[in-house]
Amino acid sequence: MLVINLINKNTKASRFFLKLLFLSFLSLVLFSCKTLPKVVSPDTVQEQLWQDIGSGILFIQQTLPTSRYILFKIDLTNPKVSIDTNQIGDTHTKGKFLSSFAKKEQAFITINGTPFDFPFSKLLPIYTLVGIHIKDGQEISPANDKYGAICFTEDQKAIIVNSQSQIQDISNVKTALGGFWTILENDTIYNFNPFKNSRMAVGVNSDGTQLFILGVEKTKSEGGLTYMECAEILKEGGASKALQLDGGGSTGLYTSQEINLFIKSKRPIPNVLYIFLSN
């Protein structure tokens, strides 16, 4: 009541009160904006200059202030390109470093895949996958409905599903790996907590004939990219839908010695996605 009386009796006090109220509101808005998901900075999505390495495979490598990323675009209609994954145990799977997977199978590109858990101890490289793993049409690790997946059909089309329960509606799935969440769909970027880290993501174009692979390595402790920044890079590259795979210390990308592009994983992992290139 004292403030109301003061405003009614004194015009200067009324103006002062209104200015104070406006400044308080403005401060509240500005402060609140800091908690919103980070907008992709101009430095993150630089001009993408594709380099052709033949057989329908292009790549971009960019170095940013606190991270670097490698983006592949793969033409799945090229008969020289084929997709596969590793064989795993029905219950528990031994882990090994990504480079060991790649060198053993002599794959052209190898990346880490499905998130996993430690059933016994983090000191033992034995894991349980938290999500789908399909090899040669056989489901070895069951679907996790909370998460999405990347699937490849017998005719080598790539399909991203928002929930792994949707895989049962796709015919002729030959290979599938689980991920976390869809970050891009119908050219729309979804919002997540703006937490930066090393990342691994995959994307597809509208008809599933092109596969995009994005590996992000943080070069400083506070580095890396957010989910939204990954989605922006994939969208700019040509993907219409994208899925975040396991990241952090599991992030790994290995290529043949011919182009020698890699992101070294920090720990052993249980399953991978192979891209083979025949002569």
pLDDT given for residue 129 in this prediction: 94
pLDDT given for residue 33 in this prediction: 30
Candidate from 33-47, 126-140, 146-160 with smallest mean pLDDT:
33-47
Is residue 70 over pLDDT 50? yes
The 3-class SS string of the chain reads: CHHHHHHHHCHHHHHHHHHHHHHHHHHHHHHHHCCCCCCCCCCCCCCCCCEECCCCEEEEEEECCCEEEEEEEEECCCCCEEEEECCCCCCCEECECHHHHHHHHCCCEEEECCCEECCCCCCCCEEEECCCEEECCEEEECCCCCCCEEEEECCCCEEEECCHHHHHHCCCEEEEEECCCEEEECCEECCCCCCCECEEEEEECCCCCEEEEEEEEECCCCCCECHHHHHHHHHHHCCCEEEECCCHHHCCEEECCCCCCEECCCCCECCEEEEEECC
pLDDT given for residue 56 in this prediction: 83
| pLDDT top residue among 89 and 40 | 89
| pLDDT top residue among 32 and 256 | 256
pLDDT given for residue 9 in this prediction: 42
Is residue 60 over pLDDT 60? yes
Band (pLDDT 50/70/90 cuts) for residue 48 is low
Is residue 78 over pLDDT 70? yes
Candidate from 5-14, 120-129, 195-204, 238-247 with smallest mean pLDDT:
5-14
Q: Specify which of 21-25, 49-53, 254-258 reaches the highest per-range mean pLDDT.
A: 49-53
Candidate from 23-37, 41-55, 180-194, 262-276 with smallest mean pLDDT:
23-37
Band (pLDDT 50/70/90 cuts) for residue 94 is confident
Tell me: the pLDDT tens digits for 114-146? Answer: 999 977 776 777 889 999 999 999 999 999 999
Is residue 21 over pLDDT 70? no
Is residue 248 over pLDDT 70? yes
| pLDDT top residue among 151 and 27 | 151
pTM of the predicted model as reported, rounded to 2 decimal places: 0.82
Band (pLDDT 50/70/90 cuts) for residue 47 is low
For 14, other C-beta atoms within 10 Å of its C-beta total 13
pLDDT given for residue 15 in this prediction: 55
Where are the domains positioned within the chain?
Answer: 2-33, 51-277
- The overall average pLDDT reported for the chain is 85
Is residue 91 over pLDDT 60? yes
Is residue 12 over pLDDT 70? no
Is residue 34 over pLDDT 80? no
